[in-house]
Amino acid sequence: MIEALGVPHTEVALVVRNGRPAGFDARIQPDDVIEAYPARHLPPGMEHGALLLRPPLPASDLRFIADAHLGALAQLLRLVGFDTRFDNNFADDEIERLAGEEARIVLTRDRELLKCRTLLRGYYVRALQADGQYREVTERLDLAPCVRAFRLCLMYNALRPASLDEIDGRVPEGVRERHTRFVTCDICHRVFWEGSH
Ligand SMILES: [Zn+2]
């Protein structure tokens, strides 16, 4: 019934029926009063995790999958360290499958995608521009405490420390002389080092 009114189930953290928490499967009777709350606006006394429809994810373990419209947002999320899958060619059922198998939060501008039954966690991105989307997602999902910038290559792979032998010939001479710590990506083979600003 809630989805029929246009709100995907992933946007709802708590359903209250006649004053008591209820599941999505509750049978609605005539004269029932149904309240649906998003995660960040829970009613007083009902903020308890056990009452919610989905247990909150541990902040250290937030992973995402972004739909085809959100490539720039995916890059920004990787930049600050969040494992984010993105591929222009992901079909909706593939996004649904990967979200389930890899416990990822789906980020999308497609409400219908979020109405898929098997999809557990997702967020409908309202903003249209990448910087606004980034601000919105970090605020709504409370990501700021979990930010660990420059941990992932923007092309996705985790970075690992590189030995000095390994980076020979792959960075400019001056950089090689001034720095001792380098990291590299095993997919795109680029080398990174700490910038001067
Ligand atoms: Zn890479």
Residue 64 maps to a domain: yes
Is the model's pLDDT at 197 over the cut of 80? no
pLDDT average, residue stretch 143-161 = 87
Rounded distance from Cα 190 to ligand 1 centre (Å) = 6
Q: Percent of the chain scored above 90 by pLDDT?
A: 65
Rounded distance from Cα 66 to ligand 1 centre (Å) = 18
Is the model's pLDDT at 61 over the cut of 90? no
Rounded distance from Cα 56 to ligand 1 centre (Å) = 31
Rounded distance from Cα 197 to ligand 1 centre (Å) = 22
The overall average pLDDT reported for the chain is: 91
Rounded distance from Cα 155 to ligand 1 centre (Å) = 5
For 188, the domain range is: 159-192
Rounded distance from Cα 11 to ligand 1 centre (Å) = 33
Rounded distance from Cα 100 to ligand 1 centre (Å) = 25
pLDDT average, residue stretch 100-125 = 93
Is the model's pLDDT at 97 over the cut of 90? yes
Rounded distance from Cα 98 to ligand 1 centre (Å) = 21
- How does residue 151 score in pLDDT terms, banded at 50, 70 and 90? confident
Is the model's pLDDT at 106 over the cut of 90? yes
Rounded distance from Cα 137 to ligand 1 centre (Å) = 24
Per-residue confidence (pLDDT) for residue 123, from 0 to 100:
93
Residue 13 maps to a domain: yes
Per-residue confidence (pLDDT) for residue 102, from 0 to 100:
92
Is the model's pLDDT at 40 over the cut of 90? no
Per-residue confidence (pLDDT) for residue 20, from 0 to 100:
93
Angstrom distance (rounded) from CA 77 to CA 188? 18
Query: Same structural domain for residues 140 and 120?
Result: yes
Residue 23 maps to a domain: yes
Sign, CA dihedral 168-173-178-184, equals negative
Is the model's pLDDT at 182 over the cut of 90? yes
Angstrom distance (rounded) from CA 83 to CA 177? 32
Query: Same structural domain for residues 71 and 133?
Result: yes
pTM of the prediction?
Answer: 0.84
- How does residue 54 score in pLDDT terms, banded at 50, 70 and 90? confident
pLDDT average, residue stretch 160-178 = 91
Residue 8 maps to a domain: yes
Is the model's pLDDT at 195 over the cut of 90? no
Residue 197 maps to a domain: no
The total number of structural domains that make up the chain: 3
Rounded distance from Cα 187 to ligand 1 centre (Å) = 5
Rounded distance from Cα 121 to ligand 1 centre (Å) = 27
Residue 28 maps to a domain: yes
Here the CATH number for the domain that contains residue 67 is: 3.40.50
Rounded distance from Cα 150 to ligand 1 centre (Å) = 12
Per-residue confidence (pLDDT) for residue 162, from 0 to 100:
94
Rounded distance from Cα 80 to ligand 1 centre (Å) = 15
pLDDT average, residue stretch 171-188 = 91
